Amino acid sequence: MAPFTMKSAKSAKKTVEIPKMTSPHYVIDGDQVKLVEHRDINENMEVLGAVTKKVYEQLGKLKNKTFKNVRDVHIACNQCHQVFLTSCLEHPLFWVPNQIDRAVRGPYTHKTLPAQYFRISDEGRVKGQGIRAIRNIPTGLVFGPYEGTRTLAKDCANPDYSWDILVNGETWAVDGKKNGNWLVLINSPNYQREANMVALQHKGEMNYVVYKPIRQGEELTVWYGAEFGKRLAKWRKQAEKE
């Protein structure tokens, strides 16, 4: 599967001026991850964690005002249409680290599932297993990286379970079919516009970003690219006839 590429913006949107903070924290406020001063946190917010001084100093620093030539060490904000060294201050990203719960019985995909957010679901004969939210999920959460066996893309045995990663001019594949983590269970929608997550290559790894609010009980979906979409449509039509 080819990596997601941002759409070029005609012009940068004006961002909201955010006052400098002395003790910034990531919080979930409604449908979005936000940065707030510690003293301004209220009972309606869910605290995700404090922002270190080093990270905070990089937040909001512009790299480019357009999406041209975006390197994978930088973060493009789809709402501001600008590229930042780390993340946008107005629309920050909070990276939920991969975890392994060895007390969970079952395959590695089950052990790595962030159970505080999601559950594994049976999506029927056509789609197989999937992932559904057990609570409302805000935009700005990032899950990953996508795990698997790394090979050169041309040598990848399971392209439908793999992401292509461009590293130093070479295209590598991360094949999650045999030893992938829970992200391999996230299905593709029938159309790109229906996806609620987007794949983001960052520092040589593929991650999934929530870019539409996900409601409790809703299935997670990420677009795997046009070529995969064509094959997927063919598989699903064939399965429905059987």
Name 77's bridge partners. Answer: 82
In this predicted structure, what is the pLDDT of residue 7? 44
Q: Considering the domain boundaries, does residue 237 fall inside one? A: no
H/E/C letters for each residue in 153-165?
Answer: HHHCCCHHHEEEE
Residues 60, 143 within the same domain: no
In this predicted structure, what is the pLDDT of residue 64? 63
In this predicted structure, what is the pLDDT of residue 226? 72
H or E segment and range at residue 232? helix 226-241
Q: Against a cut of 0.75, is the pTM above it?
A: yes
Residues 155, 56 within the same domain: no
- pLDDT under 70: residue ranges of the chain: 1-18, 64-70, 228-242
Residues 202, 108 within the same domain: yes
Residues 100, 213 within the same domain: yes
Residues 124, 68 within the same domain: no
Pairing of strands 62-64, 82-84: antiparallel
Q: Considering the domain boundaries, does residue 231 fall inside one? A: no
Among 34, 65, 92, residue at a domain's last position: 92
Q: Which domain holds residue 51?
A: 24-92
In this predicted structure, what is the pLDDT of residue 197? 97
Q: Considering the domain boundaries, does residue 181 fall inside one? A: yes
Residues 179, 160 within the same domain: yes
Residues 106, 158 within the same domain: yes
Q: What's the number of domains the chain is made of? A: 2
Residues 39, 100 within the same domain: no
Q: Considering the domain boundaries, does residue 129 fall inside one? A: yes
Dist CA 185 CA 221 (whole Å) = 10
Instruction: Say which DSSP state 53 is in.
Output: H
Residues 101, 218 within the same domain: yes
Q: Considering the domain boundaries, does residue 161 fall inside one? A: yes
Dist CA 130 CA 220 (whole Å) = 8
